[in-house]
Structure 1
Amino acid sequence: MKVGNKLTIQIVIALILGIIIGSVFNLMVDQTWVQWIDQYIFNVVGQLFLNMIFMMVVPVVFISIVLGVVNVGDPKMLGGIGLKTLAFYLASTAIAISLAMLVANFLNPGEGQSQLLDSDEVSEYRETELEGGATAESINQGFDQTLINLIPTNVIEAMGTQNMLQIIAFAIFVGVAIIANKDKTSGIVSLFEQGNDVVMWIVMAIMKYFAPIGAFGLVATAFVQAGFGAIQQLGMYFICVLLVLFLHLAIVYGSAVQFLAKKSFVWFIKNFAPAMGVAFSTSSSSAVLPISLETAQKNLGVRKSVSSFVQPLGATINMDGTAIMQGVATVFIAQLSGVDLTLMQMVTVVVIATVASIGTAGVPGVGLVMLAMVLTAVGLDPAAIGIIIGIDRLLDMTRTMVNITGDAAIALLISEQQKRKEAASESQA
């Protein structure tokens, strides 16, 4: 079952209708009937779709990773692909946040708006999120603990909490064990292959019958609650983030696809559009992962052995869109506070945001937790996040789309490199 152009058009139309209707309803958000429609129609439809996708995330990731390892066949080759993938992801994230800070320092989105620091949103964020809350705990988690947490102590718990890095680690162990016992495990491999066919059929059925209406519900309720009102006050910040997201998408990913993968970037965007549309509506890299995998494999021709390893890893550690938000927001808040960031502080932001992206859950709003960590590291008040939280949901939709597009671009790049390497070996033989 292939993700076709017809479904892409349906999703795009649903997104546009969701934005328009949600924005109109936002003007009447105090009306009881608008709140009822938002809560019982838009929200219910959107959350049902989101839950159906989340339902498939763990089985898709686990089965895909195991089969990816088995299909690679050679643990040494798997290690090479893993190191190459990690290097690409960390490099693109570092480029993303550097580009964000460069553009933000040029456009000065926070200049002359210091009064925003005295807003009620800042006080409310400090009281509800920072004083003894989960955000503070996340800020204090060290890199050593992140490494320790790679290995699950309870696999069932890891799957129940959708801890992607731990699921990936366990799946790699299972895949390597199957390779090591390949004379005895043909039945298990067949079982995983059949399981993959089943879960992917369910994913594509969800896409075919529920994606357009689900995307409409998620986008409509997001715009009913946020609307464009908050953008007026934070217009330059909003424009700055969107501009850098577009530049990173076009320049960095475009160059990777065009020159390294040797494929047309227009072709890439056209064929990956269905997954991008779902990413925009869900604001979750993890939720869109099953669709992202299927779209990359069927529409872009990415090898399953590469896609099933590279993209799930990317959904956890490749947060370029989130890094862009953090870079712009850090400069924005520093300008509001009258602080000129030194070169060393900017380097610190790049390093911390890049490292912090490893192991971050691919769920809506997680970028704000990471931003609090970055602001604390350079001596800025993390409570200032309250200023941007009103429009973060709208930006989160766009940066999630950039995140998963980056995952697919790297998967395509590595897949094409593997094909060329094998072709060269065959020609020499």
Structure 2
Amino acid sequence: MKKLALHWQILIGMALGVAWGMMASSFGLNSFTTDWISPFGTIFINLLKLIAVPLVLVSLITGVSSLSDISRLSRIGSKTIGIYLVTTVLAVTLGLILVNVFEPGKAFSPEKRDEFKEQFAGATTEKSSNAETVKQQGPLQPLVDIVPSNIFRSMTDNGSMLQVIFFALLFGIALILIPPDKAQPVNDFFEGVNMAILKIVDIIMMTAPYGVFALLAGLVVDFAGNDPSAAMELLLVLGYYCIVVAIGLALMIFVVYPALVLTVGKTKYGHFLRGIFPAQMLAFSTSSSAATLPVTMECSEKNLGINKEITSFVLPLGATINMDGTSLYQAVAAVFIAQAYGIDLDIMAQLGIVMTATLASIGAAAVPGAGTVMLVIVLQQAGIPVEGIALILAPDRILDMLRTTVNVTGDTTVAMMVARTEGQLHPPTEITVR
């Protein structure tokens, strides 16, 4: 019997996880789920995080050193960052258009707003405190943070991925500049390490369906508590806001990205979606672009035919600085909260949101919930009450899953565009998915 493809296994794991979570909430199995099932989801996430830094470090070094030409590296780098900024601004602008047209915040009653403020007071204070720390830093602090003082310390923290990328780029450039006979043994070493790391990724992905099941089961139990109807009621109250965000994210995946893939990538979008579907499903279940990175790279190379030289540079960079889904969500959430408080934002305030959300998305870590902290900075810049973040915390985990899927799709779209313009796209005749 033919083995079921990985993406179908992940989908089945997701469905069973949701079903188990609802059943556990109904029959009082919350503690059992939290103690005996949810930890396996944490283990799966830890395994993905474990391999993220080594994968980025080694793949970037091998990718950059293989270019053998500094001018080519500069061209690919500037092209990549330029396209990332354009797609991010498009996402923020789309979010602002939708939230101003549908005005979901005006559906909130003052009573419900006060109820949410009280319920999420603790979480709101924590997010505000974290954002205040970021805000008090100087204007050039993000640039300072990119350069590590100790690369080994940076490699112990997935949140320092930009520092790892900086070191890997510097190391790769150095390999290009030294004599080829001296560089070759080092290149061979990293090539071997890269193959070993990719094999570890294969091993980890064998556990993906079970890890996704545990993640979703734990998520549903945490959200619903002992009363599944409470979760349903909360979702209905915030449903309008969620729908607006979901529409924006759907437009990115089914309108904006197809236009880019078809016109620049010269590829049928159906082929593109089939190729990255496993990565999208993993992004949806983990809410982490960094954790999904190994699978995104594998799908891009094996299923879409993007040269490893491009994926090893563009995708790790994208997982760190390209957050189209997150920036769109920040635009919608900020105006939504303003509407709920009865605040009218003029065109200049909304242009400020575009700028702040774009820059905030670059600084957001590629881990679950990071976008929420950066949202506080967006709110403060626009003069919107930070306390209003309590209004959107309830459904944020679900929306985080959706926007991470958009983030990963956007990264792959840009990788395909860069690969096509560099003559490094050679689509396989058939998509093979494990």
1:9 equivalenced with 2:4 (yes/no):
no
1:127 and 1:63, CA in 2 relative to 1: closer, same or farther beyond 3 A?
A: closer
Match of 1:311 among 311, 315, 318: 315
Tell whether the 8 Å contact from 2:283 to 2:289 is kept in structure 1 after alignment: yes
Tell whether the 8 Å contact from 2:91 to 2:325 is kept in structure 1 after alignment: yes
Match of 1:150 among 131, 142, 146: 146
1:128 and 1:191, CA in 2 relative to 1: closer, same or farther beyond 3 A?
A: closer
Q: Distance in 2 between matches of 1:186 and 1:178?
A: 9
Partner of 1:174: 171
| Cα RMSD (Å) | 1.7
Q: Distance in 1 between matches of 2:277 and 2:4?
A: 9
- Per-residue Cα deviation, 1:246-275 (whole angstroms, up to 9, x for no partner): 011111111111111010111111111111
Partner of 1:335: 339
Residue 142 of structure 1, CA deviation: 4.1
Match of 1:203 among 201, 204, 223: 201
Tell whether the 8 Å contact from 1:315 to 1:362 is kept in structure 2 after alignment: yes
Residue 40 of structure 1, CA deviation: 2.3
Match of 1:263 among 267, 272, 282: 267
Tell whether the 8 Å contact from 2:9 to 2:209 is kept in structure 1 after alignment: yes
Residue 197 of structure 1, CA deviation: 0.4
Between 61-70 and 7-16, report the one with greater CA deviation.
Answer: 7-16
Between 12-21 and 392-401, report the one with greater CA deviation.
Answer: 12-21
Output the TM-score relative to the length of structure 2: 0.91
Partner of 2:130: 134
Match of 1:374 among 355, 378, 388: 378
Q: Number of matched residues?
A: 412
Partner of 1:289: 293
- For residues 19-418 of structure 1, the aligned pairs below 5 Å read 19-28=18-27, 31=28, 34-115=29-110, 116-119=112-115, 120-121=118-119, 123-130=121-128, 133-162=129-158, 163-181=160-178, 182-207=180-205, 209-227=206-224, 228-229=231-232, 230-418=234-422
Output the TM-score relative to the length of structure 1: 0.92
1:293 and 1:413, CA in 2 relative to 1: closer, same or farther beyond 3 A?
A: same
Residue 168 of structure 1, CA deviation: 0.4
Tell whether the 8 Å contact from 1:256 to 1:413 is kept in structure 2 after alignment: yes
Residue 148 of structure 1, CA deviation: 1.4
Residue 386 of structure 1, CA deviation: 1.3
Structure 2 residue runs of 5 or longer lacking an equivalent are 225-230, 427-434
Once superposed, which parts of structure 1, at least 4 consecutive aligned residues long, lie more than 4 Å away? none
Structure 1 residue runs of 5 or longer lacking an equivalent are 423-429
- SS of 2:395 mapped into structure 1: helix
Residue 232 of structure 1, CA deviation: 1.3
Tell whether the 8 Å contact from 1:64 to 1:308 is kept in structure 2 after alignment: yes
Residue 24 of structure 1, CA deviation: 3.7
Amino acid at match of 1:197: M
Q: Distance in 2 between matches of 1:151 and 1:114?
A: 47
